Chains A and B, each alone.
Chain A
Amino acid sequence: MTVTVDLRQAVLAKNDGLAAALRADLTAAGTAAVNLMSSPGAGKTALLEQLLTRAVARGVPVAALTGDLATENDAKRLARSGAPVRQITTDGNCHLEADMLRDHLDAWLPAGTRLLLVENVGNLVCPASYDLGESLRVVIASVTEGEDKPLKYPTAYRWADLVVVTKVDLAAAVEFDEPAFLNALRDVRPDLDPATGVLRTSARTGQGVDDLLDLLLAVHPTSRKD
């Protein structure tokens, strides 16, 4: 005979549970974690180099984790800022998960770290399903990617608390249509106020980087409701 067993279980519950525990621990430590996501080549690492260098110059206790399938190149680049940086090498996994963060943070994250920047694997598809215990989710979109990215990657953009448009020094050269981008974003994230939820930066010229850093430093490591 057949019996139906009620499960009612969210599949990503395991990662969600680990992420919630991590979020609680980071909050207790006074550390705000920021999850930075984008497609490959949008400029996450270059922007992070700028952010970390400026944070160190301001005397802010900052640290970074950077995820890639292979190589330690990004960690080496980011370490030039003088901030503590650790590489997460995923060996083929295309996104970071909470357990990877836990493994790399335990016994490493310097006490008193105020801001932990987490550079996710360059991928707009998968990271958006995996809570890392962060207090802020940022999607980075470069002007060279086209205006309809929010519509093409709704899961990632729906998750974003903040959208950063990068490489704005190239905007004119590629004829980036910012109103079209903001329209696409509004279709996917109608509740994201473009005045406060969208920033423009250029890692090359430095435009907007201090504003972004100010915003990140204002993030409190409170528990985030999803």
Chain B
Amino acid sequence: MHELSITRSVVRAVAEATGARPVTVVRMRIGDLSGVVPDALRFAWDVAVLDTPLDGSVLEVKTVRVAVACRGCAATVDLPDPLPLRCPGCGSREVDMVRGREVEIVNADVREEVPA
């Protein structure tokens, strides 16, 4: 939900960091329990970048699987599915979610002018 407004925030944040330089790629990490849908982000991307230095850039999204730290067996494990929140090893529900809610911009590729 809100992928368009999130996309606009991303474009603004990247442009602030990269200045007027043309951007070719923006990479993001989206957790499986973040509530953000990568396809919806990609859909909104082409609209959100129009008339900005990011125009024409590609959005690459890496999804992050939900991972938990199990208080039962002390393992940190990726879950096979986002829910239920349960250690796949020992079955315990005494777990803390350590990955899976990310909505992060990782980096962006900018085109630099090569000095003549």
Query: Do A and B assemble together?
Result: yes
In the complex, the answer to whether A188 meets B35 with C-beta atoms within 8 Å is: no
How many interface contacts (CB-CB < 8 Å) are there between A and B?
Answer: 94
B14 contact set on A, CB distance < 8 A: 7
Which residues 183-219 of A sit at the B interface, judged by CB distance below 8 A?
Answer: 186-191
Q: CB within 8 A of B82: which of A3, A125, A154, A191?
A: A154
**Chain B interface, number of residues (Cβ within 8 angstroms):** 37
Between B35, B95, B96, B114, the greatest number of chain A beta carbons within 10 A of the residue's beta carbon is seen for: B35
Please tell me if A144 contacts chain B, counting CB pairs below 8 Å: no
Question: In this complex, what residue of B is CB-closest to A7?
Answer: B105
Which residues 4-46 of A sit at the B interface, judged by CB distance below 8 A?
Answer: 4-12, 14
Please tell me if A158 contacts chain B, counting CB pairs below 8 Å: yes
Please tell me if A129 contacts chain B, counting CB pairs below 8 Å: yes
B28 contact set on A, CB distance < 8 A: 11
* A187-B85 CB under 8 A given contacts A2-B112, A126-B2: yes
In the complex, the answer to whether A129 meets B2 with C-beta atoms within 8 Å is: yes
B84 contact set on A, CB distance < 8 A: 187-188, 190
In the complex, the answer to whether A155 meets B107 with C-beta atoms within 8 Å is: no
CA of A155 to CA of B36, assembled, Å: 10
Question: In this complex, what residue of A is CB-closest to B108?
Answer: A5
In the complex, the answer to whether A7 meets B103 with C-beta atoms within 8 Å is: no
Please tell me if B93 contacts chain A, counting CB pairs below 8 Å: yes
Nearest Cβ on chain A to B71's Cβ, whole angstroms: 9
**Chain A interface, number of residues (Cβ within 8 angstroms):** 29
* A190-B106 CB under 8 A given contacts A5-B17, A126-B2: no
In the complex, the answer to whether B95 meets A190 with C-beta atoms within 8 Å is: yes
In the complex, the answer to whether A1 meets B105 with C-beta atoms within 8 Å is: no
Nearest Cβ on chain A to B37's Cβ, whole angstroms: 11
Q: CB within 8 A of B107: which of A6, A11, A126, A186?
A: A6
Nearest Cβ on chain B to A22's Cβ, whole angstroms: 19
CA of A208 to CA of B22, assembled, Å: 59
Please tell me if A115 contacts chain B, counting CB pairs below 8 Å: no
Please tell me if A69 contacts chain B, counting CB pairs below 8 Å: no
Q: CB within 8 A of B17: which of A7, A126, A189?
A: A7
Residues of A within 8 A of B (CB): 1-12, 14, 94-95, 125-126, 128-129, 151, 154-155, 158, 186-191
5 example contacts (A-B, Cβ-Cβ < 8 A) are as follows A2-B111, A5-B18, A129-B1, A151-B83, A188-B84
Q: Which 10 A-B pairs have the closest CB atoms?
A: A190-B93, A187-B84, A155-B35, A7-B105, A11-B103, A125-B1, A2-B109, A9-B105, A126-B1, A6-B107
Residues of B within 8 A of A (CB): 1-2, 6, 9-10, 13-14, 17-18, 24, 28, 33-36, 82-86, 93-97, 102-112, 114
